[in-house]
């Protein structure tokens, strides 16, 4: 008897459907296949109208993220063998995002949030070109490297209960990326970003559930990044409370 597995796939065509529904497809059960292989089989052999995103098939591009049996997963890294022969696997678009068609979600709001944290090097004084490259030691790179591994797959947003309750929450990936630049010794924009993100829709919106870190396929640890950011914000608040604004600059001008 041939080995089979059933995929229950969310289908939605906005021009004709009021709400999503599910359609079942039987596909071969092959131990080397991932969920994305099964989706490609359905599109190539059964129903060419099935719509979803994918690109690299190597866990790098982040575009094939979907809900698989209720869990945010990269379908290119989720093996059918983890569910077993004869199993039924439900595949849905990532939750908390508007659905465009079938398994494809709209990322416009996420991209706006990503840009809002100013994820680039901010410099107040640029060294001259004659100074050459701005080199870093391996130790300086290691400080922020973990938080730079994000592939913007948005699995963490689909896992975060705060995103589900508060759509204006900036979210784990964007906040972790802000912390990545704050920790980069070449950057001078930490104070500017703190002014943009130290509010209830930013770092203080995180309740530290930790689901974002659990589902991250690149082990970025967004929850840890946000807690570091909170600590920095609290220290800056205490510092500003104890030292009146401008006192640091005045103290630097004092001469013996």
Confidence (pLDDT) at 161 = 97
Do residues 239 and 189 lie in contact, with contact meaning Cβ atoms separated by under 8 Å?
A: no
**Residue 252 pLDDT:** 44
- Structural domains of the chain, ranges and CATH numbers in brackets: 4-105 (3.10.20.30), 108-242 (1.10.1060.10)
For the chain, which ranges sit under pLDDT 70? 1-2, 244-256
Nearest to 124 by CA among 195, 188, 192: 188
Its pTM stands at 0.90
- Residue 256: what pLDDT? 35
Q: What DSSP character marks residue 124?
A: S
Taking the C-alpha atoms of residue 125 and residue 65, their distance in angstroms, rounded to an integer, is 40
3-state SS class at 79? strand
Amino acid 60: pLDDT: 96
């Amino acid at each position: 008897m041939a080995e089979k597995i059933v995929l229950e796939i969310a289908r939605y065509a906005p021009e004709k459907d009021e709400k999503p529904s599910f359609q079942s497809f039987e596909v071969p059960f092959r131990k080397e296949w991932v969920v994305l292989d099964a989706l490609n089989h359905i599109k190539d052999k059964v129903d060419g109208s099935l719509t979803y995103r994918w690109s690299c098939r190597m866990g790098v591009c982040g575009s094939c993220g979907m809900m698989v049996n209720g869990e945010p997963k990269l379908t290119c890294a989720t093996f059918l063998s983890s569910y077993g022969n004869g199993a039924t696997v439900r595949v849905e678009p990532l939750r908390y995002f508007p659905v465009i068609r079938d398994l494809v979600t709209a990322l416009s709001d996420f991209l706006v949030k990503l840009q809002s944290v100013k994820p680039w090097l901010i410099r107040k004084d640029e060294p001259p070109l004659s100074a050459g490259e701005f080199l870093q030691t391996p130790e300086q790179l290691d400080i922020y490297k973990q938080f730079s591994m994000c592939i913007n797959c948005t699995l963490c947003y689909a896992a975060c209960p705060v995103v589900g309750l508060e759509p204006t929450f900036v979210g784990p990936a964007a906040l972790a990326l802000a912390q990545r630049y704050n920790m980069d010794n070449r950057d001078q924009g930490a104070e500017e970003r703190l002014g943009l993100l130290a509010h209830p829709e930013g770092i203080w919106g995180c309740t530290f559930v930790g689901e974002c870190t659990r589902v991250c396929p690149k082990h970025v640890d967004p929850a840890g990044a946000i807690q570091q950011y909170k600590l920095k914000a609290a220290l800056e608040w205490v510092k500003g409370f104890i030292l009146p604004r401008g006192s640091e600059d005045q103290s630097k001008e004092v001469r013996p």
